[in-house]
């Protein structure tokens, strides 16, 4: 039985609220803490289902991980190459990031692991990561189409490789770099377009030898040297810019709003949405800039703004791939047409996000065009009708995006399978309602 939520039009949003810790960094903190020598202490870890699955899997691989009452996580690692064969399935739930990165981690350990996940994750392609890892010596046994459930037979004699990513993917890059930790020599990943670099930054923070060099074609070559001695660290996880995107856009759309979101990560490879919103006319400012665990952070101050449609450069997609659903909502209120291109990757996320956004926006009265790798939203400079029940297909970002739309639409918007939100943003409803939103349950259950 799926949980249904509705969101209705509200007065100005106001106040300050900290969104949960960065999901990408939280996954990596658990994995690298499990490989480090000594104790790591991590504050601000995202405690959504995706990250908790990674924590459970790292325990199954031999790491000692505990959460203390003060909310800080303590990890005692096994050292590079020290993970042990899990006694049971590694169930990644809905987490594509956790699954792909963890495959890289175990691929160069000499034991067999079995991966599974929920129905959504089992439908997602894994060949993009299994094929380069197979070049390093690992073997994979998968369902048709390279999908989960699958078995990883790790190699006892891994081979370093130099691999050029066919498409921009921080997940594939990170999987190969993690595999390279337990591989002799140097493992290099070449990317034509820069993707989020949390893995490189965190590897350095733990003591690994990582080089990043520009290529002649304008891309980047990232090289990790095998068998480093990683040392336990203590750090705070920045607030997640992808999660901050939802209250940010809500405050832009609801007239008279002004909110502050403290401690948000502003890594330039993650802030394409904020650059785009500014180009659309958003009053969005970074205040109190500082560094946190090697990552730049700032407090975001957001004021309600009149937005205009723009053409979003396709090359910006890697820096905002998870934020297109909420950008499409912002575009539906803007004056004029917003064209978003280079979005083929959205077809293979938790759902086909391109199709889901096009269907949902149309149901809310927005004029929208869907192309193979593009979404074109024709805004009219006023609130869309709303008045729709959106099928989220258990996609947390689709769910949150349409709840935001409902806050400023003419009529309320409802979403099904609202429990999906907890995979990345536990406490989303309470946080938004604390700022002035009106999100609540409809019927106790929905079909």
From the list 197, 240, 299, 322, the catalytic residue is: 322
- Confirm or deny that 349 is annotated as ligand binding: yes
- Confirm or deny that 285 is annotated as ligand binding: no
Closest CA to 400 of 387, 385, 386, 417: 417
d(CA 171, CA 421) in angstroms, rounded, equals 21
Specify whether 70 is catalytic. no
- Confirm or deny that 171 is annotated as ligand binding: yes
- Confirm or deny that 169 is annotated as ligand binding: yes
- Confirm or deny that 353 is annotated as ligand binding: yes
- Confirm or deny that 3 is annotated as ligand binding: no
**Residue for token digits 């909310």?**
71
- Confirm or deny that 28 is annotated as ligand binding: yes
Binding-site sequence positions for phosphoenolpyruvate: 23, 96, 124, 171, 353, 397
- Residues flagged as binding site: 23-24, 28, 96, 124, 169, 171, 322, 349, 353, 397
User: Which residues are documented as binding site for 3-phosphoshikimate?
Assistant: 23-24, 28, 169, 171, 322, 349
Tell me the catalytic residues: 322
């Amino acid at each position: 039985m799926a949980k249904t939520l509705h969101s209705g039009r509200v007065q100005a949003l106001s106040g300050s609220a900290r969104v949960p810790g960065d999901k990408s960094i939280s996954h990596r903190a658990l994995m690298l803490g499990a490989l480090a020598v000594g104790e790591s202490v991590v504050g601000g870890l995202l405690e959504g289902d995706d990250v908790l699955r990674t924590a459970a899997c790292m325990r199954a691989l031999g790491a000692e991980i505990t959460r203390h009452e003060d909310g800080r996580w303590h990890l005692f690692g096994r050292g590079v190459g020290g993970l042990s064969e899990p006694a049971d399935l590694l169930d990644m739930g809905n987490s594509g990031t956790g699954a792909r990165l963890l495959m890289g981690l175990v691929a160069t350990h000499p034991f067999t692991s079995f991966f599974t996940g929920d129905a959504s994750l089992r439908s997602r392609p894994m060949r993009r990561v299994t094929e380069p890892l197979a070049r390093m010596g690992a073997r994979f046994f998968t369902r048709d189409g390279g999908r989960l459930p699958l078995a990883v037979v790790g190699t006892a004699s891994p081979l370093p490789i130099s691999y050029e990513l066919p498409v921009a993917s921080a997940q594939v890059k990170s999987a190969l770099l993690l595999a390279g930790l337990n591989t002799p020599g140097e493992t290099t990943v070449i990317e034509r377009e820069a993707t989020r670099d949390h893995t490189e930054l965190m590897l350095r923070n733990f003591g690994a030898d990582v080089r990043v060099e520009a290529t002649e074609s304008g891309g980047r070559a990232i090289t990790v040297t095998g068998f480093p001695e990683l040392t336990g660290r203590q750090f705070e996880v920045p607030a997640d810019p992808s999660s901050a995107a939802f209250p940010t856009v809500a405050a832009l759309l609801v007239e008279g709003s002004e909110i502050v979101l403290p401690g948000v990560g502003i890594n330039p490879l993650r802030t394409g949405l904020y650059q785009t919103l500014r180009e659309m006319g958003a009053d969005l400012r970074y205040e109190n800039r500082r560094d946190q665990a090697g990552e730049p952070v700032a407090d975001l101050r957001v004021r309600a703004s009149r937005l205009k449609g723009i053409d979003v450069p396709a090359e910006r997609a890697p820096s905002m791939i998870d934020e297109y659903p909420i950008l499409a909502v912002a575009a539906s209120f803007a004056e004029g047409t917003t064209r978003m291109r280079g979005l083929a990757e959205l077809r293979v996320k938790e759902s086909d996000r391109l199709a889901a956004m096009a269907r949902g926006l149309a149901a809310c009265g927005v004029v929208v065009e869907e192309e193979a790798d593009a979404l074109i939203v024709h805004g009219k400079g006023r609130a869309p009708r709303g008045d729709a029940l959106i099928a989220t297909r258990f996609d947390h970002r689709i769910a949150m995006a349409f709840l935001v739309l409902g806050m400023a639409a003419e009529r309320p918007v409802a979403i099904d399978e609202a429990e999906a939100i907890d995979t990345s943003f536990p406490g989303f409803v309470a946080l938004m309602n604390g700022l002035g939103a009106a999100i609540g349950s409809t019927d106790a259950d929905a079909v």
